[in-house]
Amino acid sequence: MASNPHVLVIANPLQGHLNPVLQFAKRLAFKGLMVTLVATSTISKSLITENGLVKIVSISDGSEDLPKQPLDNDTKEPLDGSQVESNQPSKEVHGSAEDKEKERWARFQPAVSQGLIELIERHKDSCNPFRVLIYDSMMPWCLDIAHQQSLKGASFFTQSCIVSLLYFQTYAGTLQLPTNGSVVSVPQLSVPLQLHDLPSFIYDTGSNPAILKYISDQFSNFKEADWLLFNTFDKLENEVVNWMAEQWSIKTIGPAIPSMYTDKRVTGDKDYDLNLFTADQDTCKNWLDTKTKGSVVYVSFGSIANLKEEQMTELAFGLSNSNIAFLWIIRASEEAKLPVNFMSEALKNRCLIVNWCSQLQVLSHEAVGCFMSHCGWNSTLEALSLGVPVVAMPQWTDQTTNAKFIVDVWKMGVRVKVNEKEIATREHIEACLKEVMEGEKRNELKINALKFKEFAKAAMDEGGSSDNNISKFISSI
């Protein structure tokens, strides 16, 4: 009797990439595939290896011989250079920090390539050789390895379809940037885009041309991939999905979040199996349990947040002045940026500040009324999938485009404006919080958020659009 097909999965060693890729791996295993996930040495110790569905193996990424750096740092230049979940443009990285990151990245591709090849070859003579390599789209060289090793290749895109399309058009030279206040011409969209609705690396090409090239290069060979997988769902981006499906062999397979929060079919799939930081979940839950339904603002800016000190001050007093209860995630490295006169005795009764939490557990708590977010794609999908309205405060990269869709397409949030110094003031932050939590639009935003929650659940449930696409993907292996 033939065994089930064996697939190999690899993602960039960043939480924002690994989480959706690992969730997709678990979904494939739930549907009967044998799945092995490759964890590079940078993050392998942070993964839960016994999740009952996916086998996890570690290979070197060349980091072992480098001076150890904390994962929670402010170097502004993550290992892969993609900056996917960060919050600050890397316009200046000084001296040795920049040199170390360049050395890390110089070692990464050769080391991972060698490790992948050795892993694939070791399994060739086994009873379950790998048939397919599913790889992060930001690592297009993995497709060459797959085809050289007689495997098929599936490129996994961790950003939205619209953001991917904009980067593709930038790569192809077909995106016309607006001038004199005009809008961006994107024929695949009915909603007009202003310049600052584009990903920041597109509208500000001089901020970091190396990263723009890095991101654009994911399209260097994508037409040669056997499948293109997107962490989104049809009803979320139907215009772009329909257009892309006419051009390429794409499949929407999201939202790639734990099954407990969508269809509840994957037993035991209650959380991500990767956390680079220690969550203070009991403290969060106990505090939220004391709050009334819909009364709390949850504030988080992702796993590599690096707000300017002035922006941190404005955010702190905007939250304080709103008189609304809030749970704020501030990593240990960011705590020193809080203003010294911020925490009064009165404020202690209506706020909780912790270094990290399980975001899904917080967003699903009935006390949470809105999510103040940087609008990274994973956070955006989690808010949509759990029906939580958003106060959007994007910083850069794809976050600006995600915020545009949250406000003007999905209509389940508001966006904080910035001044001429690119700072969101306390007054506008306070106004946006009150608009979502107490204003006339509150019910409309909540209704729209809950609508997409149902769409997300339906997509992942049996017979849904994403569920069917995953089944078709498996059948085609």
Q: Could you give the CA distance from residue 8 to residue 25 in angstroms, rounded to a whole number?
A: 9
**Is 17 labeled as catalytic in the residue annotation?**
yes
Please list, in sequence order, all residues whose beta carbon lies within 8 angstroms of the beta carbon of residue 83, skipping any fewer than 6 positions away: 76, 77, 90, 208, 211, 396, 397
The residue assigned the tokens 């791996």 is 25
Q: Could you give the CA distance from residue 143 to residue 147 in angstroms, rounded to a whole number?
A: 6
Q: Could you give the CA distance from residue 306 to residue 334 in angstroms, rounded to a whole number?
A: 7
Query: Parallel, antiparallel, or unpaired for β 296-300 and 325-329?
Result: parallel
Selected catalytic residue, list 17, 365, 374, 428: 17
Please list, in sequence order, all residues whose beta carbon lies within 8 angstroms of the beta carbon of residue 149, skipping any fewer than 6 positions away: 117, 120, 121, 133
Q: Could you give the CA distance from residue 387 to residue 146 in angstroms, rounded to a whole number?
A: 39
Q: Could you give the CA distance from residue 290 to residue 300 in angstroms, rounded to a whole number?
A: 20
Q: Which residues pair with 135 in a beta bridge?
A: 10, 155
Q: How far apart are the first and last CA of the chain?
A: 17
Q: Are 414 and 425 spatial neighbours (Cβ–Cβ below 8 Å)?
A: no
Other Cβ atoms less than 10 A from the Cβ of 214: the count is 17
Selected catalytic residue, list 80, 136, 197, 226: 136
The reply to whether omega before 70 is within 30° of 0 (cis) is no
**Is 136 labeled as catalytic in the residue annotation?**
yes
Q: Are 27 and 462 spatial neighbours (Cβ–Cβ below 8 Å)?
A: no
Q: Could you give the CA distance from residue 472 to residue 475 in angstroms, rounded to a whole number?
A: 5
60 token code pair:
């070197």
Q: Could you give the CA distance from residue 240 to residue 247 in angstroms, rounded to a whole number?
A: 11
Burial class from Cβ neighbours inside 10 Å (0-12, 13-18, 19+) for residue 67 reads exposed
Q: Catalytic residue positions?
A: 17, 136
